[in-house]
Structure 1
């Protein structure tokens, strides 16, 4: 099997205005203390998930402009359901936060029982945009 030929006119194979996937990778929260700080911050509950947002202080390490965390308790379901819910939350965050998130913020997504894994994907995306508008104080 031979690889496909590159375009001869000098154009790239990718089109559109999206940045390459490498630059869209978000820094992930892993420390329990970060999740606990976010749980005391502003939050918005949507039918598909709960979104918590916390501004980082000046003294905190800032390895990335936007950091994001994902959590699903056993109430969400068994391991298969929790993993599916977190995969879906990671994808909506990857698609939306680089463009709509604010630098210096930590965002934590909390999965909801029988909703995060089953709602239509477009519904989750719309929920995230509404939640970000609410948290950022955007009037519509």
Structure 2
């Protein structure tokens, strides 16, 4: 799975499909370049907390994506997880269920 690193990729994903959950917002944008690889981008703003909290949330999101996206993700699309205030206290199992539900919503 690739990473989104350029700001232009994040801005392009913002124009895709959106699925909000209590712990995060999922943005998905099909690239349409015939490459089946999925790419992941993570964003957690300072509104969520200090550096320790933001880094902890990003680590949780990376593990969440590692477990869920290979089976449920959309091939050939960019996936962006935007952290929300309640995401750090939410149990990991609930975050995984939220991500599966959000991907199913975006697929429709």
TM bracket, shorter-chain basis: over 0.9
Write the deviation string for residues 76-126 of structure 1: whole angstroms up to 9, x where unpaired.
10000100111111111100101111211000000001x121110011001
1:109 is paired with a residue whose SS is strand
The structural deviation recorded for 1:41 is 1.2
Aligned residues: 108
| Unpaired runs of at least 5, structure 2 | none
Write the deviation string for residues 25-83 of structure 1: whole angstroms up to 9, x where unpaired.
x2110000000001111100001100000010338xx5x61001000010110000100
| Unpaired runs of at least 5, structure 1 | 1-25
Give the CA RMSD over aligned residues: 1.3
Which TM-score applies when normalising by structure 2?
Answer: 0.95
2:25 is paired with a residue whose SS is strand
- Equivalent runs, 1:25-36 vs 2, <5 Å: 26-36=1-11
By relative contact order (CA 8 Å, sep 6+), the higher-ranking structure is: 2
Q: Which has the higher strand share?
A: 2
1:44 aligns with 2:15: no
1:133 aligns with 2:104: yes
The separation in 2 between residues aligned to 1:58 and 1:68, in whole angstroms, is 16
Q: Which has the higher helix share?
A: 2
Q: Which has the larger radius of gyration?
A: 1
